Structure 1
Amino acid sequence: MRKDIILSGVGGQGILTIATIIGEAATAEGINLKQAEVHGMSQRGGDVQSNLRLSDETIYSDLIAQGEADLIISMEPMEALRYLPYLQEEGWVITSANPFKNIPDYPEDVDLMRALESLPHVVKLEIEDMAKENSMPKCANVILLGMAAKYIEIVSPEQLRESIGRVFAAKGEKIVEMNQKAFDIGLNAVKNW
């Protein structure tokens, strides 16, 4: 099995944390992994994107070719649309529906949502709102990971949840529990999708 995943968002949203959790889960299960990251501006607000390739066979390139990605997991709806040329025909887009308007000519919300809704396989939720409602405003990225968990397939939701425990262990039990709860919120939100 192979999964090619593009992670995208804006600096400071936790995209690289999602990549770390998925990568750690894959490595713990003996799955081959290649990762390439592209950072925009080093300050908060720049484009951040990561190619994450997982396979039970040898992987020769760390970059995903256009039309080959199985998933786009995005913290920002416009950033999800930016990487559509990389998505294969039957691929899925898992994205936040909350825009991060960091440029002057940012598209109108209605146009952005219409473009997302026109895709054949899309899951979008207002994850930042969900995080705030659950008193975990810094965990929206882990809610998004929970939403994407069943579509990743090569590592199970259980493996990802365990990986969250290992990745956040140094920050203490309360942080681990909060992030695992955030993951469960995302997972349960799309259970019947």
Structure 2
Amino acid sequence: MTNSILLVGVGGQGTILASKLLTIGLMEAGYSVKMSEIHGMSQRGGSVSTHVRYSKDTVYSPVIEEGEADMIVAFEKMEALRYMDYLKVGGKVVANDFKIESMVNLTGQADYEEAEIDKELNRLGAKLIKVNEIAKELGNEKVMNVILLGCLVKSMNLENIDWESIIKANVKPKFIDINIEAFNKGLNLVG
């Protein structure tokens, strides 16, 4: 059976690093893994998505079709809503309860209807977590992505992989300790 995880966010939030850590961990655990990134205008705050598919059997395609994602991990809550069509029935959603206004919002061409977004995500069963606030408490907002990775690992029952070694091998030495702490925080945020 192939599992499909969609990670979505806005450029600069660390979506790609979280996907890379996930992919490396899955490969080291013996899974067949395919990953595909879509950057969009990521350098200008645009949408970023990564498809990760894994199985003990061979995975042939990295692309997740609509209605096929076992889990969506959203680094920004509007991005969670934007990609909900990809979630399969019974799938899980963990979303950072954080907003980043796009250019159309900032220029007044459209409103960021935060209350409506929250209401719809709650109706759809998304777990909203104030991940950025937790990252601030740890002392570095940039570890938000690793907190969400911890949430994903716990939600998908992937705790048996040596994530600490993977973080140590793929994060700059001066940020290893805070990233391990962030990952462990994420593990404890979901049931």
Query: With structure 1 as the length reference, what TM-score do the two structures score?
Result: 0.90
Q: Which residue of 1 aligns with 2:66?
A: 66
Q: Paired residues, what number?
A: 186
**1:127 aligned partner, one-letter code:** V
Quick check: 1:80 aligned with 2:83?
A: no
Q: Distance in 2 between matches of 1:77 and 1:12?
A: 15
Q: How does 1:2-151 map to 2 (within 5 A)?
A: 2-103=2-103, 104=105, 105-120=110-125, 122-151=126-155
1:166 aligns with 2:169: yes
Q: Percent identity?
A: 36
Matches within 5 A, 1:153-192: 153=157, 155-156=158-159, 158-168=161-171, 171-172=172-173, 174-190=174-190
Aligned equivalents of 1:26 and 1:106: distance in 2?
Answer: 39
On the 8 A contact 2:94/2:151 being kept in 1, the answer is: yes
Q: Tell me how far apart the structure 1 counterparts of residues 39 and 179 of structure 2 sit (CA, whole Å).
A: 24
* C-alpha separation in 2, matches of 1:165 and 1:77: 29
Judge conservation of contact 1:149–1:157 (CA < 8 Å) in 2: no
Runs of 4+ in structure 1 displaced over 3 angstroms? none
Could you tell me whether the CA contact under 8 Å between 2:2 and 2:59 is conserved in 1?
no
TM-score between the two structures when normalised by the length of structure 2: 0.91
- Are residues 157 and 176 of structure 1, via their aligned partners in 2, closer, same or farther at CA, if it must alter by over 3 Å? farther
In structure 1, stretches of 5+ residues that fail to align are none
Cα RMSD, aligned residues only: 1.5
Q: Is the 8 A contact 2:42 2:48 kept in 1?
A: no
Unmatched 5+ stretches in structure 2? none
* 1:186 Cα deviation from its structure 2 partner: 1.5
> Aligned letter for 2:94?
I
Q: 1:45 to 1:106 in 2, by over 3 A?
A: farther
Separation in structure 2 between the aligned mates of residue 118 and residue 42 of structure 1, nearest angstrom: 29
- Once the two structures are TM-superposed, the CA of residue 44 in structure 1 deviates from its matched residue by 3.4
Write the letter of the residue equivalent to 1:135: G
Give the superposition deviation at 1:134: 1.8
Letter of the 1:84 partner, please give it: M
Q: Distance in 1 between matches of 2:64 and 2:137?
A: 36
Query: How many angstroms apart in 2 are the aligned matches of 1:21 and 1:183?
Result: 11
Native 8 Å contact 2:29 2:161 kept in 1: no
